[in-house]
Structure 1
Amino acid sequence: MNKPYVIGIAGSSGSGKTFFLRSFLNHFLPEQVTLISQDDYYIPANTKTREENRLYNFDVPTSINREAFYHDIKELFDGKTVHKEEYTFNNPDLKPKMLEIKPAPVLIVEGLFIFHYEEVNDLLDFRIFLDAEESVALERRLRRDLLERGYDHDDVMYKWENHVVPSYNQYLLPYRPICDMVIINNTDDPKIIDDAANKISFDLKEKNSHITII
């Protein structure tokens, strides 16, 4: 198998990465694109107490099993299938799924630190930065963490002020100038995301005629 075309996608919390990824993936046949997410490589923290979890900083590079993340990306480069248990963010109500990540001509690498990790950044062919104003991003973060992950309001706000924003400023924002595309997503208008996904997928097809865009 030839080296895949690697697209790196990172963005601030609440920037709309999940929606963008869903829209982008819909432009390809399933066997032509695969996604590996940094979020599934968090070092487990489920042995901690509630207070320890509240204070624990998940938004630093050392919270990720960096070596395993890079190893599995290289496995995909070598045409091997990766099996990885989904990370459920310590939500006891969610049963983790076993992920099967198959190699494909287009590989999407997603996560907060993918530009900061030099060995991962060096593998990327195209870099996408999603961003949103802080007030918009916080509103989305609250909606997600309160409803989907079962956190309470005080926990979300503590992490936002002490972990999320400082991490964004230190480990992600400095890499914005090197990215090939910056998407500002301050509204919940899906057209912004769809237009960006359409453009990238079309450009990708132009460079790789063997890839089918749907």
Structure 2
Amino acid sequence: MSAPIVVGIAGGSGSGKTALARSLAERFGADAALIFHDNYYCRRDELTWDERSRINYDEPAAFETSLLVDHLDRLIEGRAVDVPVYNYAEHNRSDETVRVEPAPIVFIEGVLVLHEEELRKRFNLKLFVETDADVRILRRIKRDVLERGRTIESVEEQYLATVKPMHERYVESSKVWADVIIPEGGHNHVALETIAGGLAANVANLAQRS
């Protein structure tokens, strides 16, 4: 099996990067593996729920990126990995893992994946999803309240305390590393079709060589 094409997908919280990553992965089915950086938040069993809820989850130190790098290297080598599962309601990793098998295309999604050099140098294609800040915060409020059991007040507090300043410090600046900048992410159907077509052609070329 040839080494996979590794695609990094970054962008601000609520930008549409997850929708883009899921849409691309679904397009390729069994030929794609999808891993979310969020699942590699550091485990915090030693802290109470209140303490965990006040952690800055938008800075690089919040993630065990070294584990993701190790897992990505294993997938590149053609070995399966057991990816951790993060529980947003508990602000902690669960005891569950999900087996991810090697595939011709590996998608890595997360707000900081282009900020991390050890990830960047393993990516064959780097995508950055750019969406207006007002749209992103509205999407975040809807997601966190409806899907993650948060209150509007807690979402507002977290956004102002960490999400916005960390976006300006780490996420926005990582755009310089992107090969392609995509407005609106998964909602941009033209970009989705263009990227999917290019990846399909590359996968076909790799299959012919192997």
> Same fold by TM-score, threshold 0.5 exceeded?
yes
Residue 193 (structure 2) pairs with residue 198 (structure 1): yes
Report percent identity of matched pairs: 28
Give the stretch that moved more between structures: 149-158 or 49-58.
49-58
Alignment partner of 1:83: what SS?
strand
Taking a change above 3 Å as real, the CA distance of residues 202 and 41 of structure 1, as seen in their structure-2 partners, is same
C-alpha root-mean-square deviation of aligned residues, in Å?
2.3
Long gaps (5+) in structure 2? none
Cα distance per residue 1:127-180 (max 9 Å; x no partner): 111121111111110011111111112211111011111111111211213312
CA shift at 1:55, angstroms?
2.1
Mean Cα displacement is larger for which, 127-136 or 82-91?
A: 82-91
Instruction: State the alpha-carbon separation in 1 of the partners of residues 63 and 70 from structure 2.
Output: 13
Q: Which structure dedicates a bigger proportion of its chain to strand?
A: 2
Structure 2 residue aligned with 1:64: 63
Distance 2:57 2:29 in 1: 34
* Counterpart code for 1:209: A
Which structure 1 segments of 5+ residues have no match? none
Of 46-55 and 165-174, deviating more is: 46-55
Q: Which amino acid aligns with 1:173?
A: E
User: 1:1-214 alignment to 2 at 5 Å?
Assistant: 1-30=1-30, 32-45=31-44, 47-91=46-90, 97-185=96-184, 192-210=187-205
- Give, in whole Å, the separation in 1 of the partners of 2:117 and 2:99: 26
Change in CA separation of 1:211 and 1:24 when aligned onto 2, cut-off 3 Å: farther
Q: Aligned residue pairs: how many?
A: 206
Query: Deviation of residue 126 (structure 1)?
Result: 0.8
Higher mean C-alpha displacement, 73-82 vs 166-175 = 166-175
- For the residue of structure 1 that corresponds to 2:27, the secondary structure is coil
Deviation larger for 83-92 or 126-135: 83-92
Please say if residues 75 and 81 of structure 1, whose CA atoms lie closer than 8 Å, have aligned partners that are also in contact.
yes
